Amino acid sequence: MSPTPPSDDEDEAADLGATSHLLPDGTPRIVERHLHVPPELAGLRLDHFVKTQIPRLSRTKIQQIIESQLERADGYRAKPATTVAAGEHYIIRRPAQPEPPCPRTFEVLHEDARVRVVDKPAGLPVHASAKFYFNTLARVLAERYPDEPELQLCHRLDRETSGCVVLARDRDAAAFVKAAIGDKRRTTKDYLAIVHGQPPWDDEHVLDAPLRLSTALDPTRVPTVRVLVDRARGTPAQTRVQVVQRAAQYALVRCTLDTGRQHQIRVHLADAGFPIVGDKLYAHGDDAFVAYCDEGLTPELAELFVLPRHALHAWKISIPHPDGGRVDAEAKLPADLAAVLA
């Protein structure tokens, strides 16, 4: 079955989150981060404890945060050399900063009393990170459904990946759906990927290549997760693939996960010789990826990558419903991917 094409009336005035960090009066919102001391970290200096919770911060930055943004939950302003105790609760409060623009609008694909499925746009992170706090799917959901305190995301997609994300509307439903998504015998996930070249997969073919996590290319400069094919030491991983459309130097490939390893589709397709269009990490070698991290999307890299995001879309999902039956959802092919095929 061919993917549903995008509609012609997509909202061109989508919210990109340019002012999401501001209150209505124009002042910055306050971002809070809560740190709880577990028993195994009791006795550490406060600055050393903070380092365990936020490893990316330098010692100098941690000292500045403790002096100006951090206090214990009871209001006590501790010093860097303060010894922390088990059970203590510290709060970091900082003014929100402008965030990279990204689409904050989404379509609801399925909705009932206990489950929703939404179509996450490419570019919108699922959870907060160093650069994103308000411009995340989790935050947008909290804003859109303020009367649903138990609403939970049941899985995640990479920031650049678009498509189906399942939400549970109560805690019991969340536990059920998360368990079902973790069991590939009960859940089916179909992705669409646009790849370079013309794979010989007119009939369904299985990519079977064990995967393992690798250290970053340069942890001091490029803090990223990287996955490698390792047929000797890797964890088993299988992806079923089939070409559904061909267009000049590209092909649209349906990918069905038999296992759910991190970056599985991206690594499997690159290993097979047909990397995903726009994949900065796996499609064009380490030099291109490091250049992108150092310089951003220069005109030369934009031409090489073709798209500013990788061409991977979570097309369909089918899961058991907590009350019986199944939830089936399909997210139409986004306009940016359709344009590549055109």
Quickly list H helices, the chain: 46-53, 59-68, 137-144, 171-181, 264-271, 286-295, 299-305, 335-341
Residue 288 contacts residue 280 (beta carbons within 8 Å): yes
Q: Where are the alpha helices (DSSP H) in 145-222?
A: 171-181
Of 304, 213, 198, whose CA–CA distance to 253 is shortest?
198
Bridge-based pairing of strands 30-36 and 89-95 is antiparallel
Examine the pLDDT at 45 and tell me if it is beyond 70.
yes
- The question of whether 203 is a catalytic residue gets the answer no
> Rounded to an integer, what distance in angstroms lies between the CA atom of residue 170 and that of residue 148?
8
The pLDDT of residue 157 is above 90: yes
Q: What is the pLDDT of residue 10?
A: 47
pLDDT reported for residue 171: 96
Query: Residue 12: pLDDT band by 50, 70, 90 thresholds?
Result: very low
Q: What is the DSSP string of 236-253?
A: P-EEEEEEEEEETTEEEE
| 191, β-bridge pairs | 255, 314
pTM, two decimals, is 0.84
The CATH code of domain 30-95 reads 3.10.290.10
Task: Give the tokens for residue 248.
Answer: 């000049």
Q: Per CATH, which fold does 107-341 belong to?
A: Pseudouridine synthase (3.30.2350)
Classify residue 280 by its DSSP letter: T
Residue 176 C-beta-side C-alpha neighbours within 13 Å: 16
Going by pLDDT thresholds of 50, 70 and 90, the confidence category of residue 19 is: confident
From the list 158, 170, 271, 328, the catalytic residue is: 158
- Give the pLDDT band of residue 221 (cuts 50, 70, 90): low
pLDDT of residue 278: 96
Q: Which residue has the tokens 């996960």?
A: 257
Secondary structure letter of residue 200 according to DSSP: S
C-alpha 74/C-alpha 191 separation (Å) is: 48
Concatenating the DSSP letter of every residue in 95-151 gives E-----------EEEEE-SSEEEEEEPTT--SS--SS-SSSSHHHHHHHH-TT-TT-
Cα–Cα distance measured from residue 161 to residue 14, given in angstroms and rounded to the nearest whole number = 18
How many other CB atoms sit within 10 Å of the CB of residue 79? 11
What's the rounded Cα separation, in Å, for the pair 170 and 152?
8
Say what percent of the chain tops pLDDT 70: 93
Report pLDDT for 4.
66
Residues pairing with 227 in the sheet: 213
Distance from first CA to last CA of the chain, Å, rounded?
Answer: 18
The residue-averaged pLDDT of 98-117 equals: 94
Domain ranges of the chain: 30-95, 107-341
Per DSSP, the three-state class of 207 is strand
Residues in the chain: 342
Phi, psi of 166, deg, nearest 5: -95, 135
